[in-house]
A and B are shown apart, each in its own frame.
Chain A
Amino acid sequence: MAITPGTLKILALRQLVRPGPLYSWSQSFSTSLIHEKNIRAGQVKGTANKNKPLTYEQSQYPHLMGVTKSWNSWNTSNLDGEMAFAPHTTAEDTFIRKFMLGAWHDLFLTEVIIKRRQNMVIVAGFVKRVPQTRMLYFLKGFTEELLSHFLKRPVTVEIQTAGLRDLIHKYV
């Protein structure tokens, strides 16, 4: 009997209903589309004059995540077996975002992207072009040093500069 993905699925489902140790494998695979019941969450409300600027990331609806836009946090905590650290990671990400909001006040033009590779944390994003470039360097040094010692692992800040209007994708 040749094993095709179809038969695999049926057989595996049969395994699930059997008595015995259950594996939480259903979390790892999903073949159907998500059920979009609440389609208004995460969608920016338009204005009458159509003069509200949105970045590309904001203009794409949440269900397009992974299709036309990608994630703001890159880590492995949604993989099976990694659950032990998922709350830590989420809390840390929130902390980093709040920290960046305060330390880099009014500088970030996009969301803060947080990528994790091994034990390294990379904080990335687009910032405004400011007359004193030294300020960006100061903040980079400050953020890296402080967050590294807070999280006890190397943190790097990878920023790109952009003009105020460069990142506007559309007006709603």
Chain B
Amino acid sequence: MSSLARYRQCLLNTYGRYIRLERSLSSSAVRRQQTVAATGEKSPDVEDVIIPKRISRSPTAVLDALASTVRRDFYSPPYVYIDDPETIPECLVDRKAYVLAKVSGQRAARYVMKRWPKNFDVNPIDPALEIPDIFKALTGPLAAADTEEGLRERIDLRLVTESFVSYQKNKQAGNDLSDDVVHNLLDLLCVYNSKDEECLLEEERLVTKTAASGSMDKIRNTWKDSGPAEEVFQDMKDPTLRACCSLIKGRAKYYQVDRAYELFRELEEKGMKPDIQTYNAIIIARSLMIHKAENKAEAIKELFQKIKGQGLSPTVETFNNAFVTMTYCSMADNYNAAVFVSSLLSEMYACGLEPTLATWYYIMRIVYRDNDCTSYALHEIMDHLEGKDLEAHHPDDLEFFSTAMVKVCVNLKDLELAYRIDNLLNYRNNYKLIGNHYLEGLYYNFYFKILCTFEQIDTIMEHYEKTVPYWFVPSFNSVHDLIEALELNEGYQYLPKIWTDMFSFRYNKQVKIMTPLCALLAKRKQNKSLQTQYRELVAGYYDIVKYDVMSLEERGDLDKLDSIRTVNAEELGYMCQVCLNSEDPQLARELFSFFLNYKQKIQGQYPEKTLESLVDQFIKEKNFQMCMCNLNDPFDADRQEALGLIYGLGYKSCGSYHGEDQITDGPDA
């Protein structure tokens, strides 16, 4: 009893009288209504109270309602990361590394638990409460292996090899095992192909690239032909229908298609009636035995007839598997799969089944097989899906959004459709279906690709600021697209933001990104405030470059310059140009002499435009020493010639003001 309840009872025992008195004072309104009810009269101003009918809700209805109010927050990191500025990953590598670090911690803990299980036997919570199964699985003590109970426990815990060992021990001991246990064992062996598979932890799935079931590289016969599953099956004196079905499903799952179909034929000849899941497995197996697309379609139709003949009703998986088989057809078949697909789809609706996201994914793969195909299928799919709460039923459902975005970008090049897909993704909780980090990256990379191609720079940056960096870190190609879009739309005001982002994504050592970015900074002279910002960016970057190169030089490892810091002459030139644009000749001169010092180690060509501006600047300053340095460099002959002209002009114009002795002071003059 809680303290409050006791307190109340204590009061009631002794002073109930007073409390009753208080109560009677406040209940006057209630009493009046009671008298009305007692006399049976009804006052005209009192309306009938209609008590609404009770709605039966699930025990988690309140939680569901609360969860539905949660929206995707673009401005905070995903929950998997520790919410602290230090620990939120900013670059692609960290995004993966942090999750994997966490997972490896979990694995280490599991190792400890496996190694010293006794320490985890304690049950500190109320002994009356049962320990949740999830905590039992790792540590619970098991019954002896050579008993039926021991086998049953091992099967329940999905310990595949241990179950089989226990089965063999039981056999040696001469125990009679019940049919149910043996069937369960066979199921287990078939599902896992008789081996313990280290399954991925929940968070590991986030960063691990997994192949969709439609992809060809997954198809390999890995079934153990004389493995434990087959052995258990052979031991059965009279294999039942359930055992046969398990084995067929197992063989088909691991692509031992011939033997799966063989057993299926045997069943048919005996006149047995396999369940619908077996038919689902056979659809895949049968189609892999046939090479020609037309024959595949025929075989599928035949199987559907058989399902109908058995009085079974096909499930969504039946149709999905049929779609998967059509994705296996090679291009060379020249078979118009779309016709067959549409007939399958209408059949699906006729059966009263709703296509899932995986269905649409397979259809996209079939229809947009060719990169030139510009079918309107995706428009129709979007018409169908728009404004719906989507749910995941199958791992392939998660492939939908990324594939749709790729197809929009590669095949259709339709910005409007890309927006529609993005709206669908951000509708309520649909974003949960975007899949793991790999698929998310694929989706956003292509989304940005199409945005950068067709959209104004302001809109691009709006989307960029929304998703970067918490939900998406642009890949190399995306950054290239973005820089191109910036150049095309003259989005110079966004350059400082992009520049700092490149540093946090750790792209600052990538010449392929930094050079075009520097070129963009140097492209033209901006207004004063922007140009000052540019100058600061360049000065900061120069400090980093200088520090890296100097520390290398101190260690005498200057030859490793390329591997550690990939700085490029072009990049230095553009930086110099930025300084000239900002009217900071001091820094420009420093940058140029830095280049001159290390020019043997630095690759690339110094941009001519910068050289010209430098010459102009030096002439303006009457600094002929630097001017000569500029010219005496072992540049290309053509460029020397061109520069010589400029120099000549400059010399002519300035020579009269300056004594010729200054020219002879030059180091190489």
| Chain A residue with Cβ nearest B81 | A137
Given known A28-B7, A146-B112, A160-B84, contact A92–B105 (CB-CB < 8 A): no
Which residues on the B side are within 8 Å of A145 (C-beta)?
105-106, 109-110
Q: Interface extent on B, as a size class?
A: 35 or more
Instruction: Tally A-B pairs: CB < 8 A.
Output: 116
With beta carbons under 8 angstroms apart, the residue of A28, A141, A151 that contacts B3 is A28
Q: Decide if the interface of chain B is mainly helix, strand, loop or mixed.
A: helix
Q: Does A136 contact B (CB under 8 A)?
A: yes
Q: Which of B98, B106, B120 touches A134 (beta carbons < 8 Å)?
A: B98
**Is there contact, CB below 8 Å, between B106 and A8?**
no
Which of B11-19, B207-215, B634-642, B657-665 is the interface stretch? B11-19
Contact at B86–A161, with CB atoms within 8 Å?
yes
Specify the chain A residue showing the minimal Cβ separation from B1: A81
Residue from the list A1, A12, A27, A153 in contact with B10, Cβ < 8 A: A12
Which of B50-58, B130-138, B475-483, B563-571 is near enough to bind chain A?
B130-138
Q: How far is the CA of A134 from the CA of B622 in the complex (A)?
A: 55
Neighbour of B18 across the interface among A1, A12, A80, CB < 8 A:
A1
**Contact between A136 and B87, CB atoms less than 8 A apart:** yes
Contacting residues, chain A, for B552 (C-beta < 8 A): none
- Is A142 within 8 A of B109, CB to CB? yes
Within 8 A of A (CB), among B78-102: 82, 84-87, 89, 94, 97-99, 101-102
What is the 8 Å Cβ interface bit string for chain A, positions 159-171, against chain B (1 contact, 0 not)? 1110000000000
Q: Does B331 contact A (CB under 8 A)?
A: no
CB distance from B602 to the nearest CB of A (A): 30
Is there a chain A Cβ closer than 8 Å to B29's Cβ? no
CB nearest to A130 among chain B residues: B86
Return chain A residues, CB-CB under 8 Å to B119. Answer: 150
Q: Is the CB of A81 within 8 A of B18?
A: no
Q: Is the CB of A137 within 8 A of B120?
A: no
Complex alpha-carbon distance, A85 and B127, angstroms:
12
Report the bound CA distance from A148 to B112 in whole Å.
13
Once the chains are docked, how many angstroms separate the CA of A141 from the CA of B202? 12
Does B113 count as interface, using CB distance less than 8 angstroms?
yes
- Closest Cβ of chain B to A155, distance in Å, is 11
- Scoring A27, A134, A159, A160 by chain B CB atoms within 10 A of each residue's CB, the highest score goes to A134
Q: Contacts A11-B14, A152-B132, A153-B125 hold; do A81 and B3 have CB atoms under 8 A apart?
A: yes
Residues of B within 8 A of A81 (CB): 1-3, 6
A142 touches which one: B13, B106, B123, B132 (CB < 8 A)?
B106
- Across-interface contacts of A129 in B (CB, < 8 A): 86
User: Contacts A3-B18, A23-B10, A146-B113 given: A152-B135 contact, CB under 8 Å?
Assistant: yes
Are A135 and B10 within 8 A (Cβ)? no
B139 within 8 A of A: yes
B6 engages A146 (CB within 8 Å): no
> Measured between C-beta atoms, what is the minimum distance from B505 to chain A in Å?
16
B7 touches A141 (CB 8 A): no
- Mark contacts of A93-133 with chain B using CB atoms, 8 A cut-off: 1 yes-contact digit, 0 otherwise: 00000000000000000000000000100000000010001
Q: A142-B109, A151-B124, A151-B125 are in contact. List 7 more A-B contacts (CB 8 A).
A: A79-B3, A133-B87, A133-B98, A137-B98, A137-B102, A138-B102, A141-B106
**7 chain-A/chain-B pairs, Cβ below 8 angstroms:** A12-B11, A81-B6, A119-B125, A133-B94, A134-B97, A145-B109, A152-B132
What 6 A-B pairs are tightest by C-beta distance, nearest first?
Answer: A141-B105, A80-B3, A145-B109, A142-B105, A141-B102, A137-B101
